[in-house]
Chains A and B, each alone.
Chain A
Amino acid sequence: MTGPGDTVVVVEDELPMRRFLRSALMAHGFRVVEAGTIAEAERAAVDTRPDAIVLDLGLPDGDGLELLKRLREWSTAPVIVLSARDRENDKVIALDAGADDYLTKPFGTSELLARIRVALRHARAQPATEDPTIIVGPISIDRARHQVQLAGAAIHLTPIEFRLLLLLARHAGKVLTHRQLLHDVWGPRSAQQTHYLRVHMAALRKKLEVDPARPRWLTTEPGVGYRLRDE
């Protein structure tokens, strides 16, 4: 799926960080194009038509968010943003503005590669030919029949829970923000009612997790949203 030939544009102003990203990605067969400023990044994106973009939100010559918005006007290449732990709001804004995932500094090579792989996989999936059954770990979802099984046993979900699970499963491995989940499950007017979402997520965990307080699949991304892990 991914590997030699896939081009990743790395937008990072700190040279040591860029060096680390380059060596980690190149060691796994990616072609890496580096950009230290917004202007360089835009040029690189136009010239190389990358398969994915890694973007540090704390760029000095302008807002990384601005670049993301401009990029989204013409490109669908997955964007993974890098940000510090207590900048949750930046991450949420970036994700809502079209970023595909995020990494909190510090992170290791394996997390970086896992995010890029998931993003590339989703970017290449054809929605029209989506499988009628989605399987994530022990969870299997029959889209047509509204049926969910956990390790082969039928699980009853309410319609809301089903929609929530389906949405997370269709983006398995990828983070979805509170806003995205609320918007898609409850409609555009509910985007602020996060407690709604939290109550239903808790119910879903109760039904699908062995220990809901230590979720294996339905993980919380604090301050950002939720993720259905697929590995």
Chain B
Amino acid sequence: MIIPSDTTVRAWLAAGASAVTPVACATLLGVIAGARLSLPDDAMLFLFAIMIAAFGGRRAGLLAASLSVAAYDFFFVPPRFTFAVADLGYVMTFAVMFTVGAGMGTLVARLRHAEAASRQRERRTAALLAFTADSARAVDVAEVASAVAAHAEDVLAAPVVVLVPGGDGALAAAAGLAPLAAQELAVVRAAHEQRRPAGRGTQLVPSARLLALPLLAGGDSAGVVAVHLDRARRRIDREARELLEAIARQAGLAIARLRLTAEARDAELRVQAEELRSALLSTVSHDLRTPLAVITGTATALREISSALTPDQLAAIDTIVEEATWLGRILTNLLAITRVEHGGEIHSEWVPVEEIVGSALARAEAVLAGRDVALDLAPDIGVRVNPILIEQLLLNLLENAAKHTPPATPIEIAAALAGDGVAIEVADRGPGVPPGAEHQVFQKLYRGPNARGAGAGLGLAVCRGIATAHGGTIEAAQRSGGGATFRIWLPGGAPPPPPIDDRAIDDHAIDDHAIDDRAVDDRAVDDRAVDDRAVDDRAVDDRAIDDRAVDDRAIEPAPTGPGVSPAAGAAP
């Protein structure tokens, strides 16, 4: 047996109410009028009553038809005041009454339904528009979330909760009051992670008591809107679902827009910060260096008139120059650390280790004061770095060694391939790094216990900053046999191959190659002037210059030959 639900019973009761009155009126009117004057067709009254009742809907129409048939049969069809029918022709009348009742009722119901549907559509369109306007005004994700919750609740007449990922990435309620149970939260998470609807009416956990839709922003889920479906409202109709989906889509777009805006703002801020930093650096650089340059320059100019000065006065001038130079080095380090620590872009290029060590040694000449520096550099290796910064790094290590070790002790620099890069070691024979301070030495303002003279404690911090900025490492260790070793690792290796451009000209190169090869062989012989002249003439042509680039490579693998080695007596 089917127990009709509350809503069905209520619907029939309402239908009864709207059916009983017109039928009762028709019956009364028929009875009263029939007594005074003869009506040609009483049935017309009932048809009219059915029509009126049918405005109450299909149920009311059918009910009114049934009641009319009963009343008509009882009061008007002979034998009157019984339900018996003498003339079978009346059955036809009953059928017409039913048909009119059912037909009219259905028609009216359809019209009503269509009207209600269009009204609802209008309301939902308005709701979506209102939501779009709200979400467009939102300045952050939380405002978008509360707009979603407010409008969805309004439209669906069901509790809604909106969740967005927090700082840790976990979903947290951002709007809506409905608390979620653990298994409901799992459904919401599923919708978020799989970026598709989950819960009631979907393929994902359809048994759940809620519907969760992800807010898609640029292919990614920026949050979830979840609707509670309680016992009274087991599912939401297709249109409401579509509306909810539209809101979710709009919310996703709004969040994507907010994210883009935020990114653009961040980028702009970064550019501004970068501009400010370089303006500041160039001001500091100019304002502090110029007086230093004047001090150094004027002191050297004074020193030129040495014949007029006493040894004490000369020593004083030297002190001025030394101190100004020292200040200049601190300034250079300060600027270098600002440069590498504040994310300025580092322009890297392949540089031979020998060249970079060489220029660092040249700059460290005064600091090293003739100290013995032994080199052990593997041939033909290079590092992919900013040469200025790495020169500064090496200079700092050399200065550090000079400062912390006795004047006569040697310093050694070694470099070799290590993995995808090059390891460079700067080692000394001083007191070494204090045990346990291997990491501390790289901290800003750290000063070793054996530091001689003044020091700002910046040098090694700058070294670490520079190495890190290149994707490299630096570490300090005790050296076996006494002393300290600073080991730097930087990306690099063998020289990169020449560009394809130059290799592509091989065809042209074959002839020239022969000439050049001969030129190599003939070097030792004296009568090659004519051939060489030919080579020289070609040099006018740009094309030939490129060809030579290729030839050069061809020749290089065998660089040794008569007179190639750095000849004795080359010393200046």
Contacts and interface: CB of A to CB of B under 8 A. Distances in A.
B292 interface: yes
Interface in A170-198: 185-187, 189-190, 193-196, 198
Q: Choose among B304, B352, B387, B569 the residue with the greatest number of A CB atoms under 10 Å from its CB.
A: B352
A210 interface: yes
Interface stretch (A38-46, A73-81, A121-129, A156-164): A156-164
A24 B548 contact: no
A86 B336 contact: yes
Interface of chain A, helix or strand or loop or mixed?
mixed
Contact of A185 (B290, B291, B545, B571): B545
B561 interface: yes
A152 interface: yes
A27 interface: yes
Interface of B: 281-282, 285-286, 289-298, 300-301, 304, 324-325, 328, 332, 335-336, 339, 349-352, 354-355, 357-359, 361-362, 375, 377, 380, 382, 387-388, 391, 495-496, 498-499, 501, 516, 519-520, 523-524, 529, 532-533, 535-536, 539, 542, 545-546, 548-549, 551-552, 555-556, 559, 561-572
A200 B304 CA distance: 39
B355 A201 contact: yes
A156 B542 contact: no
A161 B519 CA distance: 14
Contact of A107 (B296, B304, B546, B548): B296
A132 to B, nearest CB: 12
A1 interface: no
Interface in A103-124: 105-110, 112
Contacts of A152: 569
Given A84-B285, A159-B548, A203-B559, A150 B358 contact: no
A17 B294 contact: yes
Contacts of B539: 163
Interface of chain B, helix or strand or loop or mixed?
helix
A187 B542 contact: yes
A111 B535 CA distance: 39
Given A216-B572, A222-B391, A86 B563 contact: no
B520 A156 contact: yes
A89 B519 CA distance: 39
Contacts of A137: 572
Interface in A8-63: 14, 16-17, 19-21, 23-24, 27, 58
Contacts of A106: 289, 292-293, 295-297, 324-325, 328
Contact of B375 (A17, A151, A163, A213): A213
Q: Choose among B290, B291, B523 the residue with the greatest number of A CB atoms under 10 Å from its CB.
A: B290
B564 A223 contact: no
Nearest to B355: A220
A14 B290 contact: yes
A114 B563 CA distance: 33
B304 A105 contact: no
Contact of B359 (A17, A200, A220): A220
A57 B498 CA distance: 35
B563 A154 contact: yes
A189 B501 contact: yes
Across the A-B interface, the 10 shortest Cβ-Cβ residue pairs: A108-B300, A106-B296, A105-B293, A195-B350, A106-B293, A160-B552, A151-B569, A153-B567, A16-B294, A220-B359
B120 to A, nearest CB: 67
B292 to A, nearest CB: 6
Nearest to A21: B297
A5 to B, nearest CB: 21
Contact of A109 (B304, B354, B499, B536): B304
Nearest to A195: B350
Contact of A222 (B388, B501, B563, B566): B388
A175 B559 CA distance: 27
A87 interface: yes
Contact of B546 (A186, A209, A220): A186
Contacts of B567: 150-151, 153, 155
Contacts of A223: 387-388
Interface string A213-231: 1111101101100000000
A14 B287 CA distance: 10
Q: Choose among B294, B350, B569 the residue with the greatest number of A CB atoms under 10 Å from its CB.
A: B294
